[in-house]
Amino acid sequence: MIRLEDVDKVVVEPNGLRRDLFRSLNFSLSPAHSSVAILGRSGSGKSTLLKILAGLDTRYQGKYFFEGEPLLKNGATMARYRRENIGIVTQSYHLLSDRNVVQNVLLGFSGKKSIARAKECLALVQLEKFEKKSITQLSGGEAQRVAIARALVKNPRVILADEPTGALDEETENHILSVFSRLESEGHTLIVTTHNERVAGWCQSRLMLSDKKLVPQE
């Protein structure tokens, strides 16, 4: 479904030195894979890879294919691709504190249909009673689930989640994993970066960012 071919990515360090982050990196996700974990030490490039997969970072060499078709790496093409196919849960959630829960999930959309869909997504993450709640009153786990609901509102094929259980306790982590299981059973594909062994173990397959490439893990 998604394929990256021969990706080279260079980053510029704060001291001005250029560093190869990825060299001839390949990634391939077939429709049969419903969840994959991307592992790697801090700074190995997990978040950067997720941004590339989301079409948010196009400053790399290499090719991006979706369903066998190459994607042009320009802003307009990638924005359309993202809009139609990708939901993103970022590490810091990026929720707007001056809007309530359902307004955050709506992403600026309005109208009865969109509101019904936003409520459906909140129900999926078991936050149906939280619609009107202020973002500032949420726990870390609840905020994480609002971010997941927001990623789902467009019903994307692929959901990218950056450290989805980063700061959560075990019970909340279990809750997030049960939400992920539901998403899988509804036909969504999950690509998750994580340091967490339980989350990695839950995923159908695991890839390790090592020596500037992705290496399949047991």
Contact residues for ligand ATP (CB under 6 A)?
Answer: 11-12, 21, 40, 42-48
* Least distance between ligand ATP and beta carbon 44 (Å): 4
Q: Of 43 and 70, which CB lies nearer to ligand ATP in the complex structure?
A: 43
Q: Within a 13 Å sphere around the CA of 134, how many CA atoms are in the beta-carbon half?
A: 4
Q: Of 43 and 201, which CB lies nearer to ligand ATP in the complex structure?
A: 43
Q: Of 103 and 144, which CB lies nearer to ligand ATP in the complex structure?
A: 144
Q: Of 12 and 76, which CB lies nearer to ligand ATP in the complex structure?
A: 12
Under the phi-then-psi rule, with left for phi > 0, alpha for psi from -120 to 50, and beta for the rest, what region is 105?
alpha
Q: What is the largest CA-CA distance in the chain?
A: 52
* Least distance between ligand ATP and beta carbon 199 (Å): 13
* Least distance between ligand ATP and beta carbon 68 (Å): 27
Q: Name the pairing type of β-strands 35-39 and 61-66.
A: unpaired
* Least distance between ligand ATP and beta carbon 75 (Å): 16
- The residue with tokens 């959560």 is 168
Q: Name the pairing type of β-strands 61-66 and 69-70.
A: antiparallel
Task: Report the distance separating Cα 198 and Cα 203, nearest Å.
Answer: 9
